[in-house]
Amino acid sequence: MYKDILSLLALKGAYDFDTKRNLENARTNDKDHTFPKSEFGSDKYINSILNITWMSRDTNRKIKRYKRPSQYVKQFIADRYGDNEAEFLEVLDTHFINKKAYEYMLNDDFDRFIGERENELILKIKELIGISEPIQTQTLITPNKPFSNKLAMWQSIE
């Protein structure tokens, strides 16, 4: 499943968060944590494929220095995108990170980010295999879906 998700990212044509360049040659790029392990490593799901994406080596080093998504995202938007948030959102979309997931990055909300990215990837997989029924909001809590469980609880509370 790990390699499958990374392949989906490559097929979508993921762009580097910082340089905005296409990450065409996966062998010369890093695959690493969106929420850096150094800061969020206490979470048991930190190494989930839902927290991994392609990035250039230089971008990866910058992310590790900033430690939190809220820090590096704001810096990238200011330095590389001329404060154009919409342009950065287009780059995030190539990583299956939608606007909601982006907002969770800005709030350093790891659990909700993972849940939202899981939904985006499931939608893409369903599209690729030809499943067309709409995704229903989960209300059943099951032991084998910890991210969806948390998301369902938060959606109910909201």
pLDDT for the residue numbered 115: 93
Place of tokens 């998700």: 5
CB of 12 closer than 8 Å to CB of 76? no
Q: Domain range for residue 144?
A: 2-157
Q: How many CB atoms lie within 10 A of CB 77?
A: 18
Q: Are 116 and 122 spatial neighbours (Cβ–Cβ below 8 Å)?
A: no
Domain count, the chain: 1
Give the per-residue pLDDT at 110: 93
Mean pLDDT, rounded, for 132-153: 68
Contacting residues for 56 by C-beta, under 8 A, at least 6 apart: 16, 18, 19, 21, 23, 29, 30
User: Of the spans 43-57, 58-72, 111-125, which averages the highest pLDDT?
Assistant: 111-125
Residue 90, both tokens: 């287009």
